[in-house]
């Protein structure tokens, strides 16, 4: 069951893997803290490899969503932070995201920001999401 609808107004350019507007329909909101490419022992997985770190990070997001009774289909907002962002990082980012999410990326609004550093040394990415349930 779709809990939201997306709108991409005419006259605005396409946003790869995202939408301009998401209208959420539901009463329960799920907010995830920033998820990172760390294992249960807080070690960074895939050090220096953005594609691998992205895959692990989104797998961690899926784990958190499932714990709240949600799935990627329920995601309405995604914030992505990437250390020392440059345009050539988009390809490894999408490689990792598609490896974790599959071909159907969540129909969410998305903001991607370049940052200087993250909490643990060696982390290249952090992702926080908001989901809506009935």
Give the chain's domains with CATH numbers.
4-133 (3.30.1330.40)
Q: State how far the Cα of 130 lies from the Cα of 110, in Å rounded to an integer.
A: 11
pTM for this prediction:
0.86
The confidence score (pLDDT) of residue 18 equals 80
Q: State how far the Cα of 38 lies from the Cα of 25, in Å rounded to an integer.
A: 32
**Could you give the angle at the alpha carbon of 62 between the alpha carbons of 20 and 93, nearest 5°?**
60
Neighbours of 46 (CB within 10 A): 19
pLDDT tens digits for range 43-98: 999 999 999 999 999 999 999 999 999 999 899 999 999 999 999 999 999 999 99
Reported as a pLDDT band with limits 50, 70 and 90, residue 2 is low
- Residue 97 in contact with residue 58, Cβ under 8 Å? yes
Q: What is the mean pLDDT of residues 5-33?
A: 84
């Amino acid at each position: 069951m779709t809990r939201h609808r997306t709108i991409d107004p005419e006259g605005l350019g396409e946003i790869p893997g995202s939408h301009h507007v998401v209208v959420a329909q539901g009463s329960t909101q799920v907010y995830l803290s920033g998820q990172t490419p760390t294992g249960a022992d807080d070690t960074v997985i895939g050090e220096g490899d953005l594609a691998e770190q992205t895959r692990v990070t989104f797998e961690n997001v899926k784990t958190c969503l499932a714990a709240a009774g949600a799935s990627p289909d329920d995601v309405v907002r995604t914030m992505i932070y990437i250390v020392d962002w440059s345009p050539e990082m988009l390809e490894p980012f999408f490689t990792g995201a598609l490896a974790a999410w599959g071909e159907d990326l969540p129909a969410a609004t998305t903001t991607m920001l370049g940052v200087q550093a993250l909490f643990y040394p060696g982390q290249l990415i952090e992702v926080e999401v908001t989901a809506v349930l009935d």
